[in-house]
Structure 1
Amino acid sequence: MDRIQERDESNRSRHSSSSVVALAIKGNKKSKYVVQWALNKFVPEGMIVFKLIHVHAGIVGVPTPMGNLLPISQVRDDVAAAYRQEVEWQTNQMLLPFKKMCEQRKVHVDVVVIESDDVASAVAEEITKDGITKLVVGASSGGLFKSRTPGTPSTLSVNAFNLKCQFYIG
């Protein structure tokens, strides 16, 4: 698992884990509602820090102008590096509106982008590392936000409960 954008380590010491809410987002339209819900739910409770966590699949190939994909091992290092930079830029642009939503509400926000093929493990590892006790994720289908119990069949929720994390899913 590789990090594209590292978090500011000084933020870790400035904020207690109980004041940090992790939001696992895809960056799609549903993510806007997840962030908005979390802002409405947790900001009134006092000093809070949001950690936006975005996980995307590892880069295994570089697209060509013809639309096919060349394996990363078969392209020059400078081409692979340029493509990684392009993916990083696109990811940052995609996450920018969510970061701005938090900043407009005067909420400190840390953005963590992780490259991994296993989203559940990547998110679980991140919340374990920082001792985060609240995790908000979007659901694949519509519905109201709920606090889930350990019986939830989702892999991510099982990991969250093994980590003693309060888990909100919508």
Structure 2
Amino acid sequence: MSRIIQEKKLGAGRVVAVAIENNKTSQYAAKWAVDNLLPKDQTLLLIHVKQKASSIATPSGTLIALDANDDVARAYKQQMYNESRELFASFRVFCNRKSIQCQEILLEDTDIPKALIEGINTYSIELLVLGAASRSGLVRKFRTTDVPNQVSKGVPPFCTLYIISKGKISSVKSATAPLTTKPTISSNASEQQYQLAPSPDRMDTQLMRNHQPRRMSISL
């Protein structure tokens, strides 16, 4: 099945995205997507959902609102900003190896599956690739939800969802309807990081969630 997909390059001319986290399953998903779905020079969307927080605890145990004009709050935002940049940079290598362009989208929400489903609609994603849920007993904080399963239940009818486990297709939920409005996405390198361009001081919830995709063109 993988060979057939690779030969046909199902993602050619379509909006393809990989949802990423800092784990091995996301790496498998990204590598599979660039190897099997995308032709050279096409754009891949890298989507990361950052866990939303309204406040943080100081060493003394007090809570500080993240929108406060405070050194601790600013330092926290800077740390989150740097971690997001590092995460996206670590996944760009999969694209670079295959001469695939990439565009980075950072979302913020308390509900990761909901944020991904909203992202599918916002960016008209036709092919979404996810790493399979971990079966390990060591579940990280905020990662107890089976994200692939929840996304599968709410994925829009125009989107095909691939779940990848250890470099192979674990399951597929095929699209049942065509995409009615076709967006265009740029492969211009200067615009690839538009979601991460603001300074940490401006990384508030409204900025991260209400940012709309740009209308651009693909060079195939």
* TM > 0.5: yes
* Partner of residue 53, structure 2: 59
Q: Is the 8 A contact 2:47 2:104 kept in 1?
A: yes
2: CA distance, partners of 1:141 / 1:62: 27
> What's the offset of the Cα at 1:94?
2.1
Greater percentage in helix: 1
Report sequence identity in percent.
Answer: 31
> What's the offset of the Cα at 1:18?
4.7
Aligned residues: 142
Question: Residue type of the partner of 2:50?
Answer: H
* Partner of residue 16, structure 2: 21
Q: How high is the TM-score relative to the length of structure 2?
A: 0.56
2: CA distance, partners of 1:118 / 1:27: 17
Question: Residue type of the partner of 1:23?
Answer: V
**Cα pair distance change 1:58/1:69, threshold 3 Å:** farther
Question: Residue type of the partner of 2:74?
Answer: A
Return structure 1 stretches of 4+ with deviation > 4 angstroms. Answer: none
* Partner of residue 38, structure 1: 33
**Cα pair distance change 1:164/1:136, threshold 3 Å:** same
* Partner of residue 123, structure 1: 116
Q: How high is the TM-score relative to the length of structure 1?
A: 0.71
Question: Residue type of the partner of 2:121?
Answer: T
Question: Residue type of the partner of 2:107?
Answer: I
Question: Residue type of the partner of 1:49?
Answer: T
Deviations along 1:17-43, one digit per CA (max 9) or x if unpaired, are 952211111121221111111111112
Q: CA RMSD in A?
A: 2.7
**Cα pair distance change 1:72/1:128, threshold 3 Å:** same
Task: Give the unaligned 5+ runs of structure 1.
Answer: 1-16, 143-152
Q: Which of 42, 50, 59 is residue 44 of structure 2 equivalent to?
A: 50
Task: Give the unaligned 5+ runs of structure 2.
Answer: 1-11, 136-147, 165-220
Q: Which of 73, 84, 100 is residue 80 of structure 1 equivalent to?
A: 73
1: CA distance, partners of 2:13 / 2:125: 7
